[in-house]
Structure 1
Amino acid sequence: MTPDTVYQLLLDHVDQDLLIDHCCLGLTWTVCHTQKSIGFAQSPGIPSRTLDFPGTVAGSKARDIATWVRSWNPHQATIGLAAINATINTANNWLIQEATRLTDQAMGNLAVFDYLRPRLQHQKIIIIGRYPGLDVLLEGLDVTVLERQPGQNDLPDPAAEYLLPQADWVFITATSLINKTFPRLARLARHAVTVLMGPSTPWLAEFARFDIDFLAGVIPVDARRATQIAAEGGGTRLFGEGVCYGLIDIGQDNLKRLKQKIADCAQQRQQLQLAMENWYAAGHPERFPEYHRLEALTNKLSQLDTHFKRQWDART
């Protein structure tokens, strides 16, 4: 896979014939409407008076606007992802239909952490992005927050290179699709239990190809109200009145593949162990020629077992 693979995947799922009915680049949330649905993406938070596209989005083909997700202009990339979500995150999307709606949990993004908190005990947790109220909700847990503009208790985002490979759980904000950090973050977190989350999340099961285990996106409760809140600068108020969070496990097939990898590795190791026994039984005094390969397989099997247990515990 290349870093662009995920963006091509998103564009491949955009309806060729849909038009953008309305688009609002709000203070916190950007909203796109099509005839089928509504799509969100987190706004850049960077003011600009010189954007060259205002007045051209509504009435355009969603497919054309969706290609902006590849742009390095944060405003264009944001609208591009919102357009993608407006075509993918429809009422007949089976993931949305089967997702667990988090309506009894804490408000806003905290609903996801509140729901999963019982599974996070004794785990090393990395969260990409700072969420208001997070410290109180997850008090007592081993949590590290990585933030592009770190606060007092946060680490800068380059720490991901060092910390994500050692994590048990990693929560990746879907705004990483906008700023182009998603491919690297997903790669670094591939041995952890991963959650792609936020209103910017496209409801696509194919994210499992990037070792994402859970999707935690939003489901419109009142599209008109959600649009009004976003247009009037709303942030956390979007949740509850406009949308609610949903959570779904998309990593079951990855779990099956991991189980098969363990079986294959164990079989290879067993064969080498038998070959080593025969080697020494034949009277060879020197070290078994395949010893280093056997040692590597033993280490790999240990890592796979740890990975599998982590995934299994996340679902029990």
Structure 2
Amino acid sequence: MPVLEDIISTLDDDAAVKEVRIGPFWTAVVSQRCGLASSMFAHGHHQRVPAPDAGKLTEKTAWELVQEVNSESDMMRCIACSAINSILQVDLNRCVEINAGSVLMKKAGNKKVAIVGHFPFIEKIRQVASSLWVLEKRPIEGDEPAEKASEIIPQADIVAITGTALINGTMDDLLSYCRKSSFVMVLGPTTPISTVWFDYGVDMVLGSVVTNVEDALKKISEGAIFRQLKDCVRLLAIKR
């Protein structure tokens, strides 16, 4: 995964892991900061151990957890992406505080829009876009299967890709399908807020920074979805 490898290569710091929380929707690693990633794993038969070092993860450093980014375990890849966000140096002076839905509403008017992943603003975008495709690995009514990405994304004027594509290993392919003339966004709390994305044709990167770690961890442990974390995070963006 070249884009993820390049982001990892910019990590200058390491830190002890203070906390690892794995909730049904969000995974958090606390080291220098609290890093988030989506919890993207299925509960299957228990013969396979998704987190071999469970109970000992806080004995590791954040950098050691980052090395699990290519693990065969979905859970360990989620932890790795959280660990990246826990030690990534975000240039706050370059960031603007804005949410992805607002950006898309301004840009999507009479445009062809492809969104990879499900977001709460999709129906609003549908009202203003000339065409809207939603690509999903688990499609619901109105969605397109993720397997059609190579067919759909090249048609889009605006492409918004969930940062969770880093976890399932599809990000590089998805970026390769984008036209050079398209406006490309990567978004969601899993997304590392890094300028490396701009080397891969991304125009805007939208992620989050946790501002209240204790409250965020409690809510994650109790099954919070992202809108229930809104008072614990800042939604930040950088653009090319």
After TM superposition, the score normalised by the length of structure 1 is 0.70
Task: Sort the Cα spacing of 1:186 and 1:99 in 2 relative to 1 into closer, same or farther, 3 A.
Answer: same
Partner of 1:260: none
Work out the CA distance in 2 between the residues paired with 1:24 and 1:236: 15
Aligned-residue offset at 1:72: 3.0
Secondary structure in structure 2 of the residue aligned to 1:201: coil
Work out the CA distance in 1 between the residues paired with 2:137 and 2:147: 8
The yes-or-no answer on 1:184 pairing with 2:161 is no
Task: Sort the Cα spacing of 1:216 and 1:17 in 2 relative to 1 into closer, same or farther, 3 A.
Answer: closer
Contact 1:230 1:238 in 2 (8 A): no
Work out the CA distance in 1 between the residues paired with 2:150 and 2:39: 26
The RMSD of aligned alpha carbons is 1.7
Contact 1:11 1:63 in 2 (8 A): no
Partner of 2:57: 57
Contact 2:108 2:128 in 1 (8 A): no
Secondary structure in structure 1 of the residue aligned to 2:110: coil
Aligned-residue offset at 1:16: 5.0
Partner of 1:87: 87
* Aligned 1:256-295 pairs, distance under 5 A: none
Contact 2:94 2:238 in 1 (8 A): yes
Return the letter of the residue paired with 2:214.
R
Match of 1:126 among 81, 100, 114: 114
Secondary structure in structure 1 of the residue aligned to 2:226: coil
Q: Which has the larger radius of gyration?
A: 1
Partner of 2:15: 18
Match of 1:233 among 200, 208, 223: 223
Match of 2:104 among 93, 116, 122: 116
The yes-or-no answer on 1:151 pairing with 2:147 is no
User: Which consecutive residues of structure 1, in runs of 5 or more, have no partner in the other structure?
Assistant: 103-110, 251-316
Work out the CA distance in 1 between the residues paired with 2:203 and 2:189: 17
Contact 2:37 2:82 in 1 (8 A): yes
Q: Deviations over 1:127-161 (max 9, x none)?
A: 00112352145424221100001111000011111
Aligned-residue offset at 1:227: 1.6
Contact 2:41 2:75 in 1 (8 A): no
| Aligned residues between the structures | 234
User: Which consecutive residues of structure 2, in runs of 5 or more, have no partner in the other structure?
Assistant: none
Work out the CA distance in 1 between the residues paired with 2:100 and 2:8: 27
Higher-strand-fraction structure: 2
Work out the CA distance in 1 between the residues paired with 2:228 and 2:86: 17
* Aligned 1:2-13 pairs, distance under 5 A: 4-13=1-10
Secondary structure in structure 2 of the residue aligned to 1:245: strand
Partner of 1:206: 196
Highest RCO, 1 vs 2 (Cα 8 Å, sep ≥ 6): 2
The yes-or-no answer on 1:33 pairing with 2:30 is yes
Task: Sort the Cα spacing of 1:132 and 1:166 in 2 relative to 1 into closer, same or farther, 3 A.
Answer: same
Partner of 2:234: 244
Work out the CA distance in 1 between the residues paired with 2:121 and 2:203: 25
Partner of 2:206: 216
Q: Deviations over 1:222-275 (max 9, x none)?
A: 22211211111111334421113112212xxxxxxxxxxxxxxxxxxxxxxxxx
Contact 2:153 2:177 in 1 (8 A): yes
Work out the CA distance in 1 between the residues paired with 2:125 and 2:13: 43
Overall identity of the aligned pairs, in %:
24
Work out the CA distance in 1 between the residues paired with 2:222 and 2:59: 22
The yes-or-no answer on 1:171 pairing with 2:168 is no
Work out the CA distance in 1 between the residues paired with 2:179 and 2:73: 28
Return the letter of the residue paired with 1:216.
L
After TM superposition, the score normalised by the length of structure 2 is 0.91
Work out the CA distance in 1 between the residues paired with 2:126 and 2:237: 19
Task: Sort the Cα spacing of 1:118 and 1:16 in 2 relative to 1 into closer, same or farther, 3 A.
Answer: closer
